[in-house]
Amino acid sequence: MSNREARLRKIRNFVKKMPSLSTTVSKVLEICSRTDTSPNDLNKVISLDPVLTGQVLKLINSAYYSLMNKVTSLTRAIIMLGLNTVKNLALSTAVIRCVGQTKKSRALPVQKFWAHSICVGVMAKLLAAEKGVPLGDREEYFVAGLLHDIGKIPFGDEYTLVLKKAGVEKLELVSAEQSLMEVDHQEIGRLISKKWTLNSAISDSICHHHDPESAHENNKQLVALVALADCYACIFDIGYAGNRFPREDNITKILEFAGFKWEELSTMSEAIDEELRRAEVFLQV
């Protein structure tokens, strides 16, 4: 058995043992994929899970949404924010919870990893607004950014060597992963995405954020904006996910593909800082 096969077998076992998304969240994703779902249908499913209900209401009443009055009813929250937003909130909190229950490698500091992930989510959502994506669809960009690096979670403590190699040799992380481990976090992300049956847009952002052109035609814009947000978070050292040295030619390619100039991103730093402060509540769910 080759090193790659042995490593993949170990990682597959790890993914198999990772907690599944709760039945409630799976049901939420299922009913939201139907065209005839009503706020009441969604309310019925979420309210069966008191913890999830509490978390969703906590998020809705946080600075992230800046609502004028406190919302105490789930149905009202669903009507105010829309099915899509509440679905994505439920998914985000469930994933953060699942990862929290997973035995993690000491290579990546968890708080910094999520700070990086949240920055990518926030930035992708802001870029989506710049691109004129309708308000109700922008939350998907946040979730795609939040989950883009989830494939790094199953790597063991040997991942420290990958991070060291990337740092010392100023390599893009994916190259260091391939060089030392013959597998990268996008490939591992695909296994997790399959386990949790995530939709194709979020799955593509997990599997192709270093090469958005490989994403499915319908998802290319979303993946390109997540990729661009990832470059921004890495270059400006927001949080830490190990990729300190994205390749310059790759950044240029992603900028072009996403339809932005670097100067436009620099002007967004205040808005990003503000959004980041508001999104910190995701780390407290």
Listed residue (126, 120, 150) closest to 138, CA to CA: 126
pLDDT on residue 240: 92
Residue 65 banded pLDDT, cuts 50, 70, 90? confident
Please tell me the distance from the alpha carbon of residue 191 to that of residue 106, in angstroms, as a whole number: 21
Which whole number is the average pLDDT over 47-58? 87
Average pLDDT over residues 125-133: 95
DSSP class of 217: G
**pLDDT tens-place string over residues 17-52:** 988 888 888 889 888 888 898 989 999 999 988 888
Identify the pLDDT of residue 149: 97
Q: What's the whole-number mean pLDDT along residues 89-115?
A: 84
pLDDT for 1 beyond 90: no
- Distance separating alpha carbons of residues 49 and 117, to the nearest angstrom: 26
pLDDT, average across residues 87-104: 84
Map out the domains of the chain as residue ranges: 19-101, 104-285
Asked if residue 149 lies in contact with residue 117, where contact means CB atoms within 8 angstroms, the answer is: yes
Q: What is the pLDDT of residues 187-246, one digit of tens each?
A: 999 999 999 989 999 999 999 999 999 999 999 999 999 999 999 999 999 999 999 999
Supply the Cα-derived Rg of the chain in whole angstroms: 18
DSSP state of 218: G
- The architecture CATH gives domain 104-285: Orthogonal Bundle (1.10)
CA atoms within 13 A on the CB side of 284: 12
- What's the pLDDT score for residue 81? 83
Percentage of the chain exceeding pLDDT 70: 99
* Biggest CA pair distance of the chain: 61
- pLDDT class of 90 with cuts at 50, 70, 90: confident
Give the pLDDT score at 162. Answer: 95
Spatial neighbors of 277 by CB under 8 A, at least 6 apart, are 63
Burial class (CB in 10 A: 0-12, 13-18, 19+), 222: buried
* Residue 285: pLDDT band with limits 50, 70, 90: low
Q: Per residue in 135-179, pLDDT tens? A: 888 989 999 999 999 999 999 888 999 999 999 999 999 999 999
